């Protein structure tokens, strides 16, 4: 019994962690390129919706994920375009995307399907293993892209921040257009988050408003926690995935009848608090180092 | 100055255009939808008063965000500060009720408690920055989210009202709620309070020495330091920012709702941030922008009831407005 | 055979409201070593960046081997054979040395991946060829400044190949390292490469260059063989016009100042300005102007940071009126608070980087001018600011700044911005104040025309006569000689000369000391 429980916890941890990891690594690309996109949550939402929409036409998992990627790509195109081409503050643009996304989905859903609530997507429904496989594969590909490819190298150069030169200047000195790489990073982040959102819909076999439950923000927190390196971000997502799975388990375990007030709920706050503490501690160490030198 | 106003008008016009197009395209009764959206929020005194009331809490949060921007900090914890404000206000109001106290004094105490709670949460980030150099933008967001989870747990759990059927605390007694100004409309003391705060903020930012110092600090921190301006202005600005968000939360509890429930803030902090980004940092545009947002919500709601549009259309319009504002290179 | 030529290059920067390059033309032959010399702000770096494709000129043409090349494109410049070693390191700190060298022309494995092996080998070969012992796998952020310079040079050579432009390459190098660099550059020019050396170290020009171009305030003022003039003449040629001694205040009897008792108001004790430099001691007494001259890259900026109290020296200390200056006290003496004791010091600071430290560009002229006097109008804050307007206007007019006090500082021209800063820090002529003043002025005359310069120098003289202790930092010897009572020269972070100002002979000694021609302090 215990072993069963543990393995199921492990599986659900991985299932929770995988979309986080994919979205986080995608966003890491934008952070490394010097133009951090915070629109993960919004891209996940449109991604989940797009996957469910594709299921109305009978699409399966792969097509659904592709639809999610496209939707996320579209939204992040707006964010990247506004910030890189029109000079918008990339942060505010990301915020606007996050505000826009749920509303847009609701509007489209109402107009096309007459409901702004649950959208069933039976053909999209898949078991945990195929989803896990797909997400892990994409995640690994992204990590490879960022750390070993020519594209990844130039991306990182664009985001370099030295005390007296900006990433833009550094890239320019090497004959590279930082703008192009930053925009590509936005597209990657959007597509990745879109797939992550689509995978959520695939897991449940439907689009449910609010199904992302702030996971996009958790993925963003993982990016902060991991610094600018892929593996720490990945690991953070594993830990956060575990915490989410644990909280879910706890809720069904200690069911208070009306679903409220379990101390296990507080587990959801752990990622935020842990990251805050880690950030502060890390900064403190950096500061002390500077003063010593 | 002119281009600032111009860009806001463009953003406004674009989001309204969306509403019109949406109504025409998606509704089976376009005229009815347009009427529901553009006319009915203003059609009766009741509707107007509802509009003002619903903008009160939002206005407070927006003012808080403005003050933080002005001092050069992105306070992303507004939602959490408002949340902790709801809890503080509810606790103090219930305590007063149990002690037999009532009247405006007690209400003021509840609001003050909310302000202090919000300020304390914001100050955590401010201190983290001055001591450790951790960016306020990140820590305020993290602490804020943690606070929301904590408050939701408390309200739906240990502090839950055992007799009620919802996830919330016990109702605040009648004498401790914000008095209604024009019953049966929901317009309460909340609106004049938020209005007074708006005036205070504008007077501060435009007319006082501290307001000038705050602006200099926000625009060129190095120069502020070189000129010997005290960095404490930054700390006070964050505290005020948190306090205002806390007050915004308290107005929700002490107003129509009458009790603290789970997920009470419902995005007022984030909307407040968006309003502040549209309004500009001196707080002058905060009232019109907050009213605009309230109207969008109200209009979309009416349109979904009276015609068959989605009530979330307002979110799309807000997003469009925000996109356009920021794309025209306006920074707070 | 003409390798590189540029014609009528011009560039205007709106952020600082300055014309950096004004119709500059020069040419470079195969194997030629040309130096581009000029003072701070003469436009040398801008020209280098434009030729390298890092900046787009407003007008003008660049030709390589007679063919016009695309401007503003690093790729085009590199394709034409131009390699650039910038003054500010433009390496990506988070990448390794090998990756930085490969960046933009990466050797590939399987089409999309970087071949780390090939990049390593290329970098290792380059380093070996130039005698640099740098680990190609080392992160650039962990390299020393000299090593970074080495990587930049290797990169420029790997890319450019034929024409090498170096912008102040020795500014962070020791004597020995500089010598090695020149040997290397000599070998390269023997191979037929052409070299453009941007520098203000005249000793280097003598050592290295065949020809030189002298820039002053964005314009070419001389284009000739390097042996043609003496260092003094060159220095004079480079210097921007400063009011002659007559206009400045030579007429004032110096004896007056000599009689004043020595009361040290500003002291830097045992402070280290540059890595490897000896600890430095500087004292400015009451009623005297100490002028410190140095060329860019010799520590004047660091001296400014320490003297103004904005940076705390890791070793040694800053004393103002005999007491240590901690941050709280610094804030107190900067801000004018009515009712403050008359024993409280007034500390004025005119920064060399006025946009970063001296102005809030988006704030009004009024708020900028009154930034140190914000508490003066307490209690009368709400009266539409008319009192503040009046005070601001008065202060502005005192230095000839004619501008609406409501307009933003960012809308002012460079010269007017300088007047604004000076108006704020120097105060106006009819201000009555019995409080002791300490002033740190870094390049205070930048951007001003001759008449304004004379006005400012006179005000400085007045302040000194009233008892202010003034530290005057500049790279222009003429100014220093005009205004100072005592002078010092800074070279590579150390005091190379210190003594009373005796006019012409002092100027010569300062110059030699500044350029490193003389070895020891007088």
Average pLDDT of the segment spanning C93-116: 90
Interchain pair A100, B156: CB under 8 A: no
Look at C94 and A156 and tell me if their CB atoms are within 8 Å.
Answer: yes
Residue B304 lies in a domain: no
Residue C425 lies in a domain: no
C-alpha distances in Å from residue A166, one per residue of A28, B195, B220, C116: 19, 43, 18, 25
**pLDDT value at C190 more than 90:** no
Domain hosting residue C335, numbered range: 246-364+434-515
- Coil, strand, or helix at residue C404? coil
Tell whether A169 is within 8 A of chain C (Cβ). Answer: yes
Alpha-carbon distance values, A202 to A133, A138, B120 (Å)? 13, 16, 42
Is the CB of B222 less than 8 angstroms away from the CB of C357? yes
- Residue C518: the pLDDT is 53
Query: Would residue B313 count as lying in a domain?
Result: no
Domain contains C522: no
- Do C186 and C74 share a domain, yes or no? yes
The count of domains in chain C is 2
Residues C101 and C166 in one domain: yes
Confidence of residue B42 (pLDDT cuts 50, 70, 90): confident
Main-chain dihedrals φ then ψ at residue B165, nearest 5 degrees: -95, 0
- Within this chain, do residues C129 and C253 fall inside the same structural domain, yes or no? no
How would residue C148 be classed by pLDDT, with cut points 50, 70 and 90? Answer: confident
Asked if C108 and A153 come within 8 Å (Cβ–Cβ), the reply is no
Do the domain assignments include residue C428? Answer: no
Does residue B240 belong to any structural domain of this protein?
Answer: yes
Residue A175, chain C, CB below 8 Å: the answer is yes
Could you give the 3-state DSSP secondary structure of residue C412?
coil
Span B213-232, pLDDT tens digits? 999 999 999 999 999 998 89
**Furthest-apart CA atoms within chain B: distance in Å:** 64
pLDDT value of residue C522: 40
Is the CB of A162 inside 8 Å of chain C's CB atoms? yes
CA angle (C30, C36, C39) in 5-degree steps = 175
Whether residues C363 and B215 touch (CB distance < 8 A) is answered with yes
Closest CA to B195 of B286, B295, B78: B286
| Facing A173 at nearest CB: one of C54, C95, C102 | C54
Structural contact between residues C352 and C443, judged by C-beta atoms closer than 8 angstroms: yes
User: What's the mean per-residue pLDDT of chain C?
Assistant: 84
Q: Average model confidence (pLDDT) for chain A?
A: 89
Q: How many CB atoms lie within 10 A of CB C225?
A: 10
* pLDDT, mean of residues B181-197: 90
Residue C121 shares a structural domain with residue C206: yes
Residue of A124, A77, A70, A67 whose CA lies nearest to A100:
A77
Q: Tell me: do C218 and C183 sit in the same domain.
A: yes
Tokens 């102040």 sit at which residue? C168
For B132, the domain range is 53-294
Contact status, residue C461 vs residue C252, Cβ threshold 8 Å: yes
Q: Which chain B residues are Cβ-neighbours of A82 within 8 angstroms?
A: 323, 326-327
Whether residue C310 and residue B223 make contact (CB cut-off 8 A), yes or no, is: no
Q: Across the interface, which of B270, B311, B319 has its CB nearest the CB of A97?
A: B319
Q: Does pLDDT of B24 surpass 60?
A: yes
Instruction: Answer yes or no: do C140 and C63 share one domain.
Output: yes
**C40 to each of B88, B263, C493, how far by Cα in Å?**
60, 60, 17
pLDDT at C250 over 50: no
More confident residue, C57 or C413: C57
Question: Which of B23, B73, B153, B262 to mutate to test binding with chain A, by most A CBs within 10 Å of its CB?
Answer: B153
C304 and C445 co-located in one domain: yes
Pick the CATH number of A2-292 from 3.30.420, 1.10.3470, 1.20.120, 3.40.50: 1.10.3470
CA distances from C286 to C263, C435, C464, C468 (A): 5, 12, 8, 6
Residues of C in contact with A165 (CB under 8 A): 88-90
E strands, C328-463, are 346-350, 437-442
- Of C222, C238, C254, at which residue does a domain stop? C238
Report the distance separating Cα C222 and Cα C195, nearest Å: 18
What pLDDT score does A293 carry?
Answer: 47
Contact between A172 and C54 using a beta-carbon 8 Å cutoff: yes
Alpha carbon distance B223, C308 (integer Å)? 12
Query: Do residues C257 and C219 both lie within one domain?
Result: no
Neighbouring subunits of C (3+ Cβ pairs under 8 A)? A, B
Of B277, B315, B323, the CB nearest to A82: B323
Task: Measure the N-to-C terminal CA separation of chain B; round to a whole number of Å.
Answer: 13
Residue C355 lies in a domain: yes
Q: Say yes or no: B18 contacts chain A, CB-CB below 8 A.
A: no
How much of chain C exceeds pLDDT 90, in percent?
Answer: 35
Q: HSE-up of C273 (CA within 13 Å, CB side)?
A: 24
| pLDDT tens-place string over residues C394-434 | 888 888 887 788 888 888 877 888 999 999 998 766 565 66
- Residues of B with Cβ-Cβ distance to A95 under 8 angstroms: 270, 273-274, 277, 322
pLDDT at position C63 over 90: yes
pLDDT tens, residue by residue, C251-294? 444 445 554 567 889 999 999 988 788 999 999 999 899 999 98
Whether residue C412 is contained in a domain is answered as no
Contact assessment for residue B312 and residue A92, using Cβ atoms and an 8 Å cutoff: no
Going by the DSSP 8-state scheme, the letter that residue B185 receives in this structure is S
Clarify whether residues C497 and C471 are in a common domain: yes
* Across C342-362, average pLDDT: 88
Contact C53, C82 (CB under 8 A): yes
Contact A245, B144 (CB under 8 A): no
Is C384 domain-assigned?
A: no
* Token duo for residue C76: 């085009």
pLDDT band at C247 (very low <50, low <70, confident <90, very high): very low
Q: Where are the domains of chain A?
A: 2-292
Give the nearest chain A residue to C113 (CA atoms).
A149
Q: How far apart are the first and last CA of chain A?
A: 56
- Contact predicate C185/C130, CB 8 Å: no
Q: Could you tell me how far CA A115 lies from the centroid of its own chain?
A: 27
**If you search the block for the tokens 């914001």, which residue do you land on?**
B122
Q: Which of C206, C238, C270 is the last residue of a domain?
A: C238
Is residue B131 included in any domain, yes or no? yes
pTM: 0.87
E strand spans, C377-447: 437-442
Order of strands across the sheet that contains C280-285? C280-285, C264-271, C317-320, C323-324
| Residue C175 binned pLDDT confidence (cut-offs 50, 70, 90) | confident
Q: Report the pLDDT averaged over residues C298-326.
A: 90
Tokens of C187: 């070998």
Of A101, A109, A283, the CB nearest to B132: A283
CA dihedral C142, C145, C150, C156 (to 10 degrees): 100
Query: In this predicted model, what pLDDT tens digit does every residue of A56-88 receive, in sequence order?
Result: 988 889 999 999 999 999 999 999 999 998 888
C104–A contact, CB cutoff 8 A: yes
* Chain-centroid distance, C-alpha C230: 24
Specify the pLDDT at position C144.
Answer: 82
pLDDT of residue C267: 92
- State the pLDDT at residue C516: 73
Nearest-by-Cβ selection for C334 from B207, B216, B228 = B228
Among the partner residues A78, A111, A221, nearest to B142 by beta-carbon distance: A221
| Chain B residues whose beta carbon lies within 8 Å of the beta carbon of residue C308 | 226
Q: Which pLDDT score, from 0 to 100, does residue A283 have?
A: 85
Lowest mean pLDDT among A147-161, B215-229, C370-384: C370-384
Whether C319 and C180 map to the same domain: the answer is: no
pLDDT mean over A100-112: 90
Cα–Cα distance, B214 to B224 (Å, whole number): 9
- By Cβ distance, the residue of A99, A107, A283 closest to B134 is A283
- Residue pairs between chains B and C whose CB atoms are closer than 8 Å: 63
When divided into structural domains, chain B yields a total of: 1
Helices (H), A205-269: 215-226, 230-253
Domain endpoint, select from C189, C205, C238: C238
Asked, for residue C479, whether it belongs to a domain, the answer is yes
CATH of the domain at C465: 3.40.50.300
Pairing of strands C211-216, C219-225: antiparallel
Q: HEC string of B62-114?
A: HHHHHHHHHCCCCCCCHHHHHHHHHHHHHHHHHHHHHCCCCCHHHHHHHHHHH
User: Distance between CA C462 and CA C474 in Å, rounded?
Assistant: 19
Confidence of residue C381 (pLDDT cuts 50, 70, 90): low
Residues C353 and C267 in one domain: yes
pLDDT tier for residue B2 given thresholds of 50, 70 and 90? low
Contacts B319 to A, Cβ<8 Å:
96-97, 99-101, 103-104
Check CB contact of A156 with chain C, cutoff 8 Å: yes
Contacts of C360 in chain B (CB under 8 A): 215-216, 219-220, 223-224
C399 is a domain residue: no
What separation in angstroms does the CA of B175 have from each of B102, B104, B105, B246? 5, 8, 11, 21
Across the interface, whether the CB atoms of B128 and A280 are under 8 A apart is answered: yes
Query: Is residue C238 exposed (0-12), middle (13-18) or buried (19+ Cβ within 10 Å)?
Result: buried
Q: Which of C486, C432, C424 is nearest to C456 (CA)?
A: C424
C201 and C337 in a single domain? The answer is: no
Q: Give the CA distances from residue C4 to residues A43, A176, B142, C7, C215, in Å, rounded to whole numbers and listed in that order.
A: 51, 24, 56, 10, 18
């Amino acid at each position: 019994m215990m072993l069963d429980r543990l393995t199921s916890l492990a599986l659900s941890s991985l299932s929770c962690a995988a979309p986080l990891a994919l979205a986080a690594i995608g966003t890491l690309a934008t952070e490394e390129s010097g133009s951090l996109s915070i629109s993960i949550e919004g891209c996940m939402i449109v991604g989940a919706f797009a996957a469910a929409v594709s299921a109305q036409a009978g699409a399966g998992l792969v097509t659904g994920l592709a639809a999610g990627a496209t939707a996320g790509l579209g939204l992040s195109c707006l964010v990247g375009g506004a910030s890189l081409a029109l000079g918008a503050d990339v942060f505010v643009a990301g915020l606007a995307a996050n505000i826009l996304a749920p509303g847009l989905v609701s509007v489209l859903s109402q107009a096309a399907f007459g409901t702004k609530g649950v959208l069933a997507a039976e053909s999209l429904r898949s078991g945990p293993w195929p989803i896990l496989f797909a997400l892990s594969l994409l995640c690994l590909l992204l990590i490879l892209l960022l750390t070993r490819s020519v594209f990844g190298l130039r991306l990182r150069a664009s985001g370099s921040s030295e005390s007296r030169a900006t990433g833009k200047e550094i890239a320019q000195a090497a004959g590279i257009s930082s703008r192009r790489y930053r925009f590509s990073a936005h597209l990657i982040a959007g597509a990745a988050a879109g797939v992550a959102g689509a995978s959520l819909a695939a897991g449940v076999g439907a689009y449910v408003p609010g199904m992302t439950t702030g996971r996009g923000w958790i993925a963003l927190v993982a990016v902060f926690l991991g610094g600018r390196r892929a593996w720490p971000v990945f690991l953070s997502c594993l830990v956060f995935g575990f915490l989410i799975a644990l909280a879910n388990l706890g809720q069904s375990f200690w069911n208070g009848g009306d679903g409220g007030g379990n101390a296990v709920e507080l587990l959801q706050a752990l990622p935020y608090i842990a990251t805050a503490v880690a950030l502060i501690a890390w900064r403190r160490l950096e500061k002390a180092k500077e003063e010593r030198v | 100055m002119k281009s600032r106003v111009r860009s806001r008008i463009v953003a406004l016009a674009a989001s309204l255009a969306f509403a019109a197009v949406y109504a025409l395209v998606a509704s089976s009764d376009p005229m009815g939808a347009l009427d529901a959206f553009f006319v009915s929020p203003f059609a009766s005194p009741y509707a107007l008063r509802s509009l003002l009331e619903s903008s009160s809490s939002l206005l407070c949060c927006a003012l808080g965000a403005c003050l933080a921007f002005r001092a050069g900090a992105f306070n992303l914890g507004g939602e959490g500060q408002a949340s902790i404000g709801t809890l503080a206000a509810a606790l103090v109001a219930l305590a007063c009720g149990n002690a037999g106290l009532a009247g405006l004094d007690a209400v003021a105490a509840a609001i003050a408690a909310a302000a202090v709670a919000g300020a304390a949460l914001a100050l955590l980030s401010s201190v983290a920055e001055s001591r450790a150099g951790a960016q306020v933008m990140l820590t305020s967001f993290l602490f804020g989210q943690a606070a929301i989870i904590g408050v939701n747990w408390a309200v739906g759990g240990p502090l839950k009202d055992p007799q009620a059927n919802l996830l919330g605390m016990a109702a605040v007694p009648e004498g401790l709620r914000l008095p209604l100004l024009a019953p049966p409309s929901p317009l309460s003391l909340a609106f004049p309070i938020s209005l007074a705060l708006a005036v205070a903020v504008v007077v501060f930012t435009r007319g006082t020495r501290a307001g000038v110092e705050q602006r200099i600090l926000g625009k060129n921190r190095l120069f502020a330091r070189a000129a010997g301006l005290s960095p404490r202005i930054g700390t006070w600005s964050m505290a005020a920012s948190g306090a205002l968000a806390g007050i915004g939360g308290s107005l929700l509890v002490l107003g129509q709702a009458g009790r603290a429930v789970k997920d009470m803030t419902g995005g007022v902090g984030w909307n407040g941030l968006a309003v502040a980004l549209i309004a500009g940092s001196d707080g002058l545009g905060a009232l019109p922008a907050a009213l605009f947002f309230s109207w969008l919500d109200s209009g979309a709601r009416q349109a979904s009831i009276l015609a068959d549009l989605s009530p979330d259309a307002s979110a799309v319009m807000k997003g469009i407005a925000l996109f356009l504002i920021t794309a025209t290179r306006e920074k707070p | 055979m003409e390798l590189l030529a540029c014609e009528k290059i011009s560039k205007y920067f709106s952020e600082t409201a300055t014309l950096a390059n004004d119709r500059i033309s020069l040419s470079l032959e195969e194997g030629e070593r040309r130096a581009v010399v000029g003072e701070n702000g003469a436009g040398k770096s801008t020209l280098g960046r434009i030729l390298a494709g890092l900046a787009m000129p407003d007008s003008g043409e660049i030709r390589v081997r007679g063919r016009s090349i695309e401007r503003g494109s690093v790729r085009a410049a590199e394709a034409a054979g131009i390699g650039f070693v910038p003054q500010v390191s433009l390496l990506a700190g988070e990448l390794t040395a090998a990756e930085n060298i490969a960046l933009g022309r990466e050797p590939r494995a399987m089409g999309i991946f970087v071949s780390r092996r090939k990049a390593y080998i290329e970098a290792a070969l380059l380093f070996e060829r130039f005698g640099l012992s740098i680990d190609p796998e080392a992160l650039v952020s962990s390299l020393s400044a000299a090593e970074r310079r080495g990587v930049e040079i290797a990169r420029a050579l790997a890319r450019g190949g034929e024409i090498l432009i170096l912008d102040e390459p020795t500014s962070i190098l020791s004597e020995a390292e500089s010598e090695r660099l020149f040997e290397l550059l000599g070998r390269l020019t023997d191979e037929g490469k052409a070299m453009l050396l941007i520098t203000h170290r005249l000793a280097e020009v003598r050592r290295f260059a065949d020809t030189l171009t002298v820039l002053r305030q964005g314009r070419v003022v001389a284009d000739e063989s390097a042996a043609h003039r003496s260092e003094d003449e060159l220095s004079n040629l480079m210097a921007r016009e400063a009011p002659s001694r007559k206009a400045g205040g030579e007429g004032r009897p110096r004896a007056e100042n000599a009689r004043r008792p020595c009361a040290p108001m500003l002291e830097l004790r045992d402070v280290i300005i540059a890595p490897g430099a000896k600890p430095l001691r500087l004292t400015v007494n009451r009623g005297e102007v100490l002028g410190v001259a140095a060329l860019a890259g010799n520590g004047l900026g660091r001296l400014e940071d320490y003297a103004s109290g904005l940076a705390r020296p890791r070793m040694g200390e800053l004393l103002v009126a005999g007491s240590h200056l901690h941050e709280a006290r610094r804030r107190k003496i900067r801000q004018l608070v009515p009712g403050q004791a008359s024993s409280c010091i007034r500390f004025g600071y005119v920064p060399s980087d006025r946009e970063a430290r001296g102005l809030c560009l988006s704030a009004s002229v009024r708020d900028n001018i009154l930034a140190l006097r914000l508490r003066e109008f307490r209690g009368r804050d709400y009266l539409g600011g008319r009192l503040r307007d009046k005070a601001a206007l008065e202060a502005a007019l005192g230095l000839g700044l004619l501008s609406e006090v409501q307009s933003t500082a960012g809308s002012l021209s460079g010269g007017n911005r300088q007047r604004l800063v000076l108006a704020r820090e120097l105060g106006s002529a009819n201000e009555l104040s019995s409080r002791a003043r300490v002033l740190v002025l870094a390049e205070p005359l930048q951007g001003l025309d001759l008449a304004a310069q004379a006005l400012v120098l006179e005000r400085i003289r007045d302040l000194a006569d009233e008892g202010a202790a003034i530290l005057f930092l500049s790279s222009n010897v003429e100014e220093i000689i005009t205004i100072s009572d005592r002078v010092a020269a800074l070279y590579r972070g150390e005091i190379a000369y210190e003594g009373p100002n005796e006019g012409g002979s002092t100027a010569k000694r300062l110059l030699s000391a500044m350029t490193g021609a003389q070895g020891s302090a007088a």
